[in-house]
Amino acid sequence: MYLESMNAPAGTQTASRAETVAWHRLTGAEALTRREATTEGLSEAEAAVRLERFGPNELQAGEGIRPWKIFLAQFHSLIIWVLIGAGTLSGVLGEVSDAIAILAIVVLNACIGFYQEWNAEKSIAALKRMTAPRAAVRRSRVTRLLPSREVVPGDILRLEAGDRVAADARLLEASSLRCLESALTGESDAVAKQCEARSESDLPLGDRDNLVFLGTTVTSGAGWAVVTGTGMDTELGRIAGLIDEAAAEGGTPLQKRLDAFGRVLVWATLGLVAALFLLGLWRGFKPFEFFMTSVSLAVAAVPEGLPAVVTVALALGVLRMARRRALVRRLPSVETLGSTTVICTDKTGTLTVGQMTVRALYAAGRRYAVTGEGYGPEGQALRGDTPVTVAGDSALGALVHVMLGCNTAQLRQENGLWLAVGDPTEAALLAGGRKAGGNPEALETEWARVGAIPFESDRKRGAVIRRGPEGRLRILVNGAPENLLERCNRVNDESGVRPMTPEDRARLLAENAALAEQGLRVLGSAWRDLEPGEWNKDSERAGGGVTAIGEAAPDALERNLVFAGLSGLQDPPRPQAKAAVAACRAAGIRVVMITGDHPRTALAIARELGIARKLGIARVGEDIAREFGGTDGAGQTDAACLTGVELDALSDSDLAARVESITVYARVTAAHKLRIVRAWKAKDAVVAMTGDGVNDAPAIKGADIGISMGLGGTEVAKQASDMILADDDFATIVAAVEEGRGIYDNIRKTLQYLLGGNTGELLVMTVCVAAGFPSPLLPIHLLWINLVTDGLPALCLATDPIDSDLMRRPPRRRGESITDGGFLFTMILTGLLTSGVSLTAFFVTLHNHSLATARGAAFSVLVFAELLRALGARSETKPIWRIPFFTNRNLIGVVGVSLLVQVFTQDNDFLERVLKTTGLPLADIALLLALGAVPLLALEALKAVGPILRRGTPPGISP
């Protein structure tokens, strides 16, 4: 055997050299020589060679990017260069304040983008912090602590409870070794490890029980393992590579829509203005004068306030989300969540509380429900609807006595959270016993612990020996019910202890099966008072170690037991998760569960939450398929589950063809999760990925929006995410979806308001120039209109309260343009109405007054029309009288003040000289104001007709 000279205790599992070499050959790792796999370990010389060959045992960050390059990369967007040009031209025209405002917007957006670029590097840094700083390594027959970065393939690691594993390794020896791998695999419970070779070549990560992995934690036991992979050649390293790869994927839907819109707007504006300039020259306008007019028109036609509108809308959305316990790390992510069509969510710690919890008890033929989630004391045992405790139920008391007594875990409270110290399953039994009225502290005092038989995967049970009153010794045993029943010949019921009958055994096995079908992990509990002399006092003085009384001691002690009852454990769903899933479904959003846990557990949680309406499983083995059922004659299910092994057998095209029919994925790895996200994105879905573990980070980074858990999430997941749920509540995502939809609606209606006004300005100029009339608007008029109507009113629209019926609409399609048919119809109609009233004022006034007076009338009517239209722009479907008027007081105030300022321009000598207008009587101004209200009244009347304005019913105004 490998470690004979290491004094391996009796009962300890060891692996043969042939098994280890065979396993390495199977996985492609470097084959070990006999010398490397013996008790000597590597020599220092060989370790140095391997360190040079394989490199340090640390995760490599992506290629560094210089800060100035990151900053300059923020200016690659076409719309940004249009804004820079607009700002420059505004400065040339003497509008210094306008130029400063535009360029400030550009710099602000560049700074925000610069900050976002560091997220991937932070994710890799967080992964580095997960690695063990030092490791116990055996080299040249000596075990000593080394920096983990110096560990190389072929090194032999010493593993003990509390250690963080320094590298991926194959176990050579394991003594009751259990590792917590939830951050890597998503499985809540600690995994029992063993040394036997596994012949399967495609085992899921969570089932590789003869391996330990970098970054995971040893919760109990001890062992020795030979290193098979270091640094980036580990499971954690592969995840780091996936994060880097996922980070390179495209921008958010809003960014893509605005970029596409910017390109169209720029070329359309430049084309129209150039054509208008040439037409003006042909009509005989003075070249320089009309060039300045054309430049002013170009500046006015580009909605340079749009980036500010988007930034303000998103920033205020971030503040609102923070009040609802969602912390947004990237501004566009709020809007992106609003367009989400699919939420791919991890189970452990996201849909569930992330802590094993006793959900059900069974003792003396009676079933008990246990309320409360996690390790906290909140909750109680219920028989029916009646609370019960051990004080009034002796059978329940006997079961709780074993649950608390056969236990080495501890619970502690930190920052308001209850945490487990030790094995998660034992911690769950400890918390469950307390809820049923048990007192662990009193038990420790009355029944002192004198020995233990650690849980071992081959025995499937563990035991604790305690000394009670009057020196009586008792062995308390927890384990797999089928296995434990074989060691029992008595049962405890209401009347006390009696012999176990075949009927009792059958009833207990049936109850075990019923609990398992609910997705619960079932443990049995039993006890026996030991006879004098059965327990070796020398063992007790030596600290209670079992090995001192021989290898046969466990079987000798764990016999003729009294069966006390069953405990059903589960990582339970979060209380608000079911309602949140239902709300997602009502909003047209698919929820898909992706977990590293067992298919049975995943499907049970999915059914309880409503993700899977009927249990089903797709090709997970005929025996499991028969157990779950839920298939029709064609073998199809309406809630299919796919395992990681089956996922590996599918090509990308096959997965894309089936992805819409699969609601649950089980036993999957980090690479699988990223692949599932990409399959949905290939179907034009906008995908959100939620999770809390390291294994979720690549998919979180690769999704359109990544969401991590703030309380229970790993630092890696948080750094990879766009948004963090401060309360770890899946229900908060629904609030974020509503907020995101509201932000998109506000941005869309603000853009429609801006472009409608700009269209009117272009039409006013084009009609007059084409018809040979004088220009109705001067450059200063265009810039004033741009300042008064495109600034504060647009910002007020961008912060409009969310529409109450928003979550009853279906989500937007990924390829849906922000300027669809309904949008363009409304924009053109608005432009026609606005230009119509402005030209009417111009021609009527020109007929009776001077050109300067006519220009002033056209100018004022245009401003009045656009300001009044802002009041109706709050909704694309509801007329103004159906919108609560005072819910946007800022808009009312801005419109009112701007109207007064515009009136003042017609009655102030200084402003008349600056704006090149002439004074008008108040009666004429009132008529112009009434004329300016015509577009608003016409558009609101059009909304009131109803069905023709619904989305997708052209012509119409889409919501």
pLDDT digits (tens, 9 = 90+) for 785-827: 877 887 788 888 888 888 877 777 888 776 677 777 888 888 8
- Burial class of residue 835 (count of CB atoms within 10 Å of its CB; 0-12, 13-18, 19+): buried
Share of the chain above pLDDT 70, in %: 76
Is the pLDDT at 33 greater than 70? The verdict is no
| Spatial separation of the C-alpha atoms in residues 621 and 753, rounded to whole Å | 59
User: Tens of pLDDT along 262-299?
Assistant: 667 777 777 877 887 787 778 777 775 666 566 656 66
Q: Of the segments 332-336, 558-562, 699-703, 779-783, which one has the largest average pLDDT value?
A: 558-562
- Beta strand pairing status for 687-691 and 342-346? parallel
Are the C-beta atoms of 842 and 855 separated by less than 8 Å? yes
* 60 secondary structure, DSSP code: P
Is the pLDDT at 627 greater than 60? The verdict is no
- What pTM did the predictor assign? 0.63
98 catalytic, yes or no? no
Let me know how long the chain is: 959
Is the pLDDT at 438 greater than 90? The verdict is yes
**Integer angstrom CA distances of residue 772 from 161, 288, 569:** 90, 18, 85
Radius of gyration of the chain (CA): 36
| Spatial separation of the C-alpha atoms in residues 257 and 737, rounded to whole Å | 19
Q: What angle do CA 552, 553, 557 make, to 5 degrees?
A: 125
Beta bridge partners of 463: 453, 477
Is the pLDDT at 226 greater than 90? The verdict is yes
The pLDDT, as a whole number, for residue 98 is 59
The amino acid present at 271, given as its one-letter code, is G
**Integer angstrom CA distances of residue 25 from 20, 158, 200, 753:** 9, 23, 13, 67
The separation between the first and the last C-alpha atoms of the chain, rounded to the nearest angstrom, is: 74
Average pLDDT, the chain: 78
How many other C-beta atoms are found inside a 10 Å radius of the C-beta of residue 111? 12
Helix axis angle, 922-932 relative to 851-872, nearest 10°?
A: 50
At residue 109 the predicted structure's pLDDT band, cuts being 50, 70 and 90, is: low
User: Tens of pLDDT along 876-891?
Assistant: 888 888 888 888 888 9
- Catalytic position from the list 346, 504, 745, 790: 346
Lowest mean pLDDT among 158-167, 355-364, 503-512, 583-592: 158-167
Across 522-533, average pLDDT = 92
* 41 secondary structure, DSSP code: -
Are the C-beta atoms of 120 and 247 separated by less than 8 Å? yes
Is the pLDDT at 119 greater than 70? The verdict is no
Lowest mean pLDDT among 74-88, 202-216, 693-707: 74-88
**Integer angstrom CA distances of residue 29 from 37, 132, 255, 300, 441:** 14, 22, 44, 65, 49
Closest CA relative to residue 41, chosen from 161, 155, 163: 155
At residue 390 the predicted structure's pLDDT band, cuts being 50, 70 and 90, is: very high
955 preceded by a cis bond (ω within 30 of 0): yes
Is the pLDDT at 121 greater than 50? The verdict is no
At residue 369 the predicted structure's pLDDT band, cuts being 50, 70 and 90, is: very high
Q: Which tops the pLDDT comparison, 675 or 617?
A: 675
